């Protein structure tokens, strides 16, 4: 290949793409050149000097301009007299690099000795200890004793809050600027900067609230020392005490891959989540998480989780056994006509739960297809399924020639990590961005075209064939991200239809990296809607029996003579129910979610279920069995197999397939934390994209928005919901 460059590193020959930096090239052959300031996701700055190596290039005879060969015919290498930073030097043809020579080792020792002049080396009480690049490199290269006068050591603040979510230990900071560069170049929140210079240089924030960013937690992962610690995890455990389970964030439609770190609480004997870490998936979240995903896990261990089934007796809910609760439910269901039963399922449940719930309603009880809550999103999920992203779609492949349109959505608030990735497609790689909204969002900063419409009039705007959408015609790929802000289900569906139509008109319907991307409210809106194929009509005012599984909004519940609620907490709906079934939290069970960009991804249990709570699918199956259905699914894998056989979007997919991994770049995690930070590598599964499924039915015309539509609150990342309000650390940010 023409754009491969041949070089040798420590005598090992390799070929890497043109333009690659030496430090990256070495990584491809798993040779770790130590770095502090370099990070593969950030632009190199060369300011720590830890990565110094010897570099030589083929010697050229000045007279003949030919490469000089020795007697044996081998190319003579002209070694540069001084060491070079591997993090800023691109490879060149015939280059030779030494990463283990005496001058290189000496330089590392010198750099470390300087870094340690004022470093506290308080590893025993440092949260980073055990996964700290500085600690590791000090072990490898550091001096055993300090030649620096103790009295001359610089002493700085050790527990300085940078706002409510993050602390800085200024003595530990080695001024690598990774945190600042992340905030500047990736999050575009310029809320961290250096202050002062020389030995007094320190990282500060002066924003309100302090360190005001949705992505701040990532700086703790990439900080190469224990300077930045999260308010959530600091002093909560040592890395080597933590067990890890692969999971998927359910808080928004991105579906970030996570690693749940748990630790045994020896006092209670309960294994608890101590922190949520990013797990690399370059097509989903790369190595990032937003702070909601990172800190929004506390609901799992909330003290007021339901522990037992509850049955209403003498007007009050009382603890009961599963056996009696399940029997009561099935007895009740046997006595009422199927049409008088209404099922509603929330979009936070796993796809497998939803599949069984859907079958339970239609095939076992004989009811109408279940409703999905929130109703608005369920009104257009089939359209999004039909016109969604293609099989190989990847926001990272979007760039020059591609068009990204954001309609009626606030990407940073609704799908934070997509914001990072789409912004980079525009700012770093030249994709053209068009934003259409009734108000300003952070995305507007990067827009080449901006359109405004009246609140609630997004579909009307598209129907008017606006000039801004003409850009779709010349686009190589076109991605349209849309939200349902201020829209009724009907109007949101009309919007999705008209956008799908606009994509098709411009010739993007079948392209692999084009399609519609809905900003769903939660992580499995698509999966739940796929699985139950929801009823879209008006919900009956009343029913004989209603089963509400994970329904948050009381408006999505019909009045019923007998109400069953499956829940984590005693929500207002649960408190008014006749039977309450305690559900296992996502971290306590297996399952899969399908993201807004149509990727099905698995999650694994991190610890046993709380009390007697059980996965929802299990309760649905138990009721079905008591009603005479011979279901015997052993678990989510078998349910997924049944779904995959029946649902065209999932045909051919299996749990084994979703667990497949392939090498990703940059290479992060493994046993090494210098290069990528403390992000986990992905060994559990990258998931798989589900297929588009055509949808029938004519396009519907939008109608005037109602007052109810227009007064619905704007989407906000920290809008207090049933789950994140259990995270005390986020209390100051909830809206």
Partner 1 sequence: MLRTNRAADIEKVFAKYPTKRSAVMPLLYLAQAEYGYCSPEAIREVAELCELDPTEVKSVTGFYTMFNESPTGKVILDVCDDLPCALRGADAFMAHCESRLGIKAGETTADGKFTLRSAMCLAACNRAPLLQANGDYHYDLTPESFDKLIDELGK
Binding residues for ligand SF4, rule: CB under 6 A, are 173-179, 203, 223-225, 227-228, 249, 251-252, 254-256, 285, 289-290, 292-293, 415-417, 523
Site residues for ligand FES, window 81-100 (CB under 6 A)? 85, 87
- Partner from ligand FES, partner 1, ligand SF4, none contacting 38, C-beta within 5 to 8 A by type: ligand FES
| SS3 readout for 27-79 | HHCCCCCCCCCCCCCCCCCCCCCCCEEEEEEECECCCCCCECECCCCCECEEE
DSSP 3-state assignment of 396? helix
Phi, psi values for residue 14, rounded to 5°: -150, 160
Degrees to nearest 5, angle at CA 620 with 614 and 624? 135
Task: Compare residues 203 and 600 and give the one whose CB is closer to ligand SF4.
Answer: 203
Whether residue 162 contacts residue 211, with contact meaning beta carbons closer than 8 Å, is answered with yes
Closest CB to partner 1 among residues 209, 732: 209
Q: Is 655 in the site for ligand FES (CB under 6 A)?
A: no
**Residue 199 contacts partner 1 per CB under 8 A:** no
| Structure token digits, residue 628 | 């005479």
Query: Nearest distance from residue 45's CB to ligand SF4, in Å?
Result: 11
With CB under 6 A as the contact rule, the residue among 21, 50, 186, 581 that binds ligand FES is: 50
Q: How many residues bind ligand FES (CB under 6 A)?
A: 12
- Which residue among 50, 51, 53, 204 contacts partner 1 (CB under 8 A)? 204
What pairs with residue 405 in β-bridges? 434, 480
DSSP string, 85-115: ETTT-B--TTEEEESSSHHHHHHHHHHHHHH
Q: Is 195 in the site for partner 1 (CB under 8 A)?
A: yes
Q: Work out how close the CB of 278 gets to ligand SF4 at its nearest, in angstroms, rounded to a whole number.
A: 8
Could you say which of 7, 35, 55, 191 contacts partner 1 (CB under 8 A)? 191
Contacts of 580 (CB under 8 A, 6+ apart): 306, 309, 310, 311, 317, 564, 565, 566, 567, 570, 574
- Of the pair 195, 670, the CB lying nearest partner 1 is at 195
DSSP state of 713: P
Positive or negative torsion for Cα 464, 470, 473, 476: negative
601 binds partner 1 (CB under 8 A): no
Nearer of residues 213 and 674 to partner 1, judged by Cβ: 213
Least spacing, CB of residue 170 vs ligand FES, in Å: 20
- 42 counts as binding ligand FES under rule CB under 6 A: no
DSSP 239: G
Question: Is 225 a binder of ligand FES (CB under 6 A)?
Answer: no
Q: Does 197 bind partner 1 (CB under 8 A)?
A: yes
What are the angstrom distances between the C-alpha of 60 and each of 18, 57, 67, 525, 632? 21, 9, 5, 63, 75
Residue 157 C-beta-side C-alpha neighbours within 13 Å: 11
Pick between residue 46 and residue 558 the one whose CB is nearest to ligand FES: 46
Nearer to ligand FES, 34 or 523 (CB): 34
Kind and range of the H or E element at 567?
Answer: strand 559-567
Residue 323 C-beta: closest distance to partner 1, Å? 59
Q: Of 69 and 445, which has the nearer Cβ to partner 1?
A: 445
How many Å apart are CA 614 and CA 124, to the nearest integer? 40
Instruction: Select 113 or 700, whichever has its Cβ closest to ligand SF4.
Output: 113
**87/659 with CB nearer ligand FES:** 87
CB atoms within 10 A of CB 465: 12
Is 51 among the residues that bind ligand FES (CB under 6 A)? yes
Compute the distance between CA of residue 632 and CA of residue 65 in angstroms, rounded to an integer: 77
Whether cis (ω within 30° of 0) applies to the bond prior to 666 is yes
Tokens coding 82: 């001084």
Give the shortest CB-168-to-ligand FES separation in angstroms. Answer: 20
Which of 580, 559, 555, 560 is CA-nearest to residue 568? 580
Nearer to ligand SF4, 38 or 562 (CB): 38
Task: Tell me which stretch binds partner 1 (CB under 8 A): 191-199, 320-328, 424-432, 472-480.
Answer: 191-199
SS3 assignment for 262-292 = EEEECCCCEEEEEEEEEECECCCCECCCCHH
Q: Residue 475 phi/psi, 5° resolution?
A: -75, 145
What is the x/- site pattern for partner 1, positions 205-234, by CB under 8 A? xxxx--------------------------
Q: Which is nearer to ligand SF4, 128 or 647 (CB)?
A: 128
| Among residues 101, 146, 193, 362, the one that binds partner 1 under rule CB under 8 A | 193
Per-residue CA distances from 94 to 12, 84, 282 (Å): 12, 16, 31
Smallest distance from the beta carbon of 458 to ligand SF4, in angstroms? 22
Binding partner of residue 35 among partner 1, ligand SF4, ligand FES, none, CB under 5 to 8 Å per kind?
A: ligand FES
User: Which partner in ligand FES, ligand SF4, partner 1, none is near 177 (CB below 5 to 8 A by kind)?
Assistant: ligand SF4
Q: Rounded to whole angstroms, how far apart are CA atoms 613 and 566?
A: 10
User: Cα dihedral sign for 293, 297, 298, 303?
Assistant: positive
Closest by CA position to 546, among listed 558, 554, 538, 556: 558
Q: How far is the CB of 387 from ligand SF4 (least distance, A)?
A: 22
> In the complex, what is the shortest distance from the CB of residue 88 to ligand FES, in angstroms, rounded to a whole number?
6
Coil, strand or helix: which one is 364? helix
State the nearest-atom distance from the C-beta of 343 to ligand FES, in Å: 57
Q: With beta carbons less than 8 A apart as the criterion, state whether 373 and 344 touch.
A: yes
Identity of the residue, 42 or 642, whose beta carbon is nearer to partner 1 in the bound complex:
42
632 binds, among ligand SF4, ligand FES, partner 1, none (CB under 5 to 8 A by kind): none
Q: Residue 53 Cβ, how far from ligand FES at the closest point, in Å?
A: 9
CB 73 within 8 A of CB 213: no
Question: If binding is defined by CB under 6 A, does position 46 make contact with ligand FES?
Answer: yes
- Label the pairing between strands 579-582 and 591-594: unpaired
Q: Examine residue 49 and tell whether it contacts ligand FES (CB under 6 A).
A: yes
For residue 659, the minimal CB distance to ligand FES (Å) is 35
Nearest residue (beta carbon) to ligand SF4? 293
DSSP letter string, 421-456: HHHHHHHTT--EEEEEESS--GGGGG-SEEEE--TT
| Binding flag, residue 235, partner 1 (CB under 8 A) | no
Name which of residues 16 to 35 contact ligand FES (CB under 6 A). 35
Contacting ligand FES (CB under 6 A), which of 37, 472, 532, 658? 37
The span of 100-108, 190-198, 503-511, 569-577 binding partner 1 (CB under 8 A) equals 190-198
407 binds ligand FES (CB under 6 A): no
Measured in Å, how far apart are the chain's first and last C-alpha atoms?
Answer: 54
Query: Which residue in this structure is represented by tokens 């300003």?
Result: 440
- Look at residue 208 and give the partner it binds from ligand SF4, ligand FES, partner 1, none, a contact being a CB closer than 5 to 8 Å depending on partner kind: partner 1
* Min separation Cβ 220 and ligand FES, Å: 19
- Whether the link from the prior residue into 53 is cis, omega within 30° of 0, is no
* Residue 266 interacts with which of ligand SF4, partner 1, ligand FES, none, CB < 5 to 8 Å by class: none
User: Can you read off the two tokens belonging to residue 679?
Assistant: 């992000």
Options 10-18, 149-157, 195-203, 593-601: segment touching partner 1 (CB under 8 A): 195-203
Residue 568 and residue 302: Cα distance in Å, rounded?
A: 10
> If binding is defined by CB under 6 A, does position 179 make contact with ligand FES?
no
Using rule CB under 6 A, residue 36 touches ligand FES: yes
Cα(537)–Cα(547) distance, rounded to whole angstroms? 18
- Which residues would be at the binding site for partner 1 (CB under 8 A)? 189-197, 204-208
- Which residues would be at the binding site for ligand FES (CB under 6 A)? 35-38, 46-51, 85, 87
């Amino acid at each position: 290949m023409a754009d491969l460059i041949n070089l040798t590193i420590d005598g090992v020959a390799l070929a890497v793409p043109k333009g690659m930096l030496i430090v990256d090239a070495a990584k491809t052959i798993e040779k770790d050149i130590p770095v502090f300031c370099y990070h593969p996701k950030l632009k190199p700055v060369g300011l720590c000097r830890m990565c110094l190596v010897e570099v030589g290039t083929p010697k050229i005879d000045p007279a003949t301009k030919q490469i000089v060969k020795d007697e044996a015919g081998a190319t003579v290498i002209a070694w540069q007299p001084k060491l070079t930073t591997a993090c800023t030097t691109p490879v060149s043809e015939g280059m030779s690099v030494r990463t283990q020579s005496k001058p290189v080792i000496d330089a590392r020792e010198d750099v470390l000795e300087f870094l340690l002049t004022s470093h506290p080396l308080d590893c025993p009480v440092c949260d980073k200890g055990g996964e700290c690049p500085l600690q590791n490199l000090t072990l490898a290269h550091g001096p055993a004793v300090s030649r620096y006068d103790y009295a001359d050591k610089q002493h700085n603040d050790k527990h300085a809050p940078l706002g409510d979510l993050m602390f800085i230990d200024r003595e530990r900071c080695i001024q690598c600027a990774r945190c600042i560069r992340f905030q500047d170049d990736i999050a575009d929140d310029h809320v961290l900067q250096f202050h002062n210079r020389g030995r007094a240089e320190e990282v500060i924030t002066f924003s309100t609230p302090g360190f005001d960013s949705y992505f701040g937690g990532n700086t703790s992962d990439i900080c190469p020392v224990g300077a930045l610690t999260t308010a959530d995890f600091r002093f909560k455990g040592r890395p080597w005490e933590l067990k890890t389970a692969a999971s998927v964030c359910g808080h928004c439609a991105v579906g970030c891959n996570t690693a749940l770190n748990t630790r045994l609480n020896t006092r209670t004997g309960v294994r608890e989540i101590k922190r949520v870490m990013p797990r690399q998936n370059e097509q989903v979240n790369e190595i990032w998480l937003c702070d909601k995903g990172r800190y929004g896990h506390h609901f799992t261990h909330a003290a007021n989780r339901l522990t037992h089934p509850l049955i209403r007796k003498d007007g009050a809910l009382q603890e009961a056994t599963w056996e009696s609760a399940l029997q009561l439910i099935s007895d009740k269901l046997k006595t009422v006509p199927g049409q008088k039963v209404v099922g509603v399922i929330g979009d936070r449940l796993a796809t497998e739960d939803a599949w069984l719930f859907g079958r339970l309603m239609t095939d076992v009880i004989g009811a109408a297809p279940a409703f999905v809550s929130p109703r608005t999103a369920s009104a257009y999920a089939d359209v999004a399924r039909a016109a969604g992203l293609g099989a190989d779609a990847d926001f990272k492949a979007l760039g020059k020639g591609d068009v990204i349109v954001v309609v009626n959505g606030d990407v940073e608030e609704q799908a934070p990590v997509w914001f990072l990735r789409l912004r980079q497609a525009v700012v770093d790689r030249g994709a053209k961005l068009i934003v259409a909204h009734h108000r300003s969002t952070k995305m507007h900063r990067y827009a080449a075209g901006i359109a405004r419409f009246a609140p609630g009039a997004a579909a009307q705007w598209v129907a008017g064939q606006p000039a801004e959408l003409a850009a779709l015609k010349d686009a190589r790929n076109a991605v349209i991200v849309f939200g349902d802000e201020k829209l009724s289900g009907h109007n949101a569906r009309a919007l999705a239809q008209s956008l799908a139509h606009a994509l098709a008109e411009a010739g993007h319907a079948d392209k692999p990296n084009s399609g519609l991307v809905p900003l769903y409210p939660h992580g499995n809106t698509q999966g739940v809607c796929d699985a139950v194929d929801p009823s879209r009509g008006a919900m009956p005012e009343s029913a004989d029996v209603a089963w509400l599984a994970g329904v948050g909004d009381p408006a999505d519940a019909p009045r019923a003579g007998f109400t069953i609620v499956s829940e984590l907490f005693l929500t207002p709906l649960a408190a008014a129910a006749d039977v309450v079934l305690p559900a296992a939290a996502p971290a306590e069970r297996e399952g899969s979610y399908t993201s807004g960009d149509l990727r099905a991804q698995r999650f694994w249990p991190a610890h046993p279920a709380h009390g007697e709570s059980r996965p929802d699918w299990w309760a649905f199956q138990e009721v079905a069995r008591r009603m005479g259905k011979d279901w015997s699914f052993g678990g989510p894998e078998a349910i997924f197999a049944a779904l995959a056989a029946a649902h065209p979007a999932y045909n051919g997919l299996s749990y084994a397939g979703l667990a497949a991994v392939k090498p990703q770049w940059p290479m992060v995690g493994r046993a090494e934390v210098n290069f990528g930070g403390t992000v986990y590598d992905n060994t559990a599964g990258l998931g798989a994209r589900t297929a588009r499924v055509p949808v029938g039915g004519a396009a519907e015309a939008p109608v005037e928005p109602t007052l109810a539509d227009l007064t619905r609150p704007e989407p906000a990342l920290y809008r207090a919901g049933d789950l994140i309000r259990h995270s005390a650390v986020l209390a100051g940010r909830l809206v």
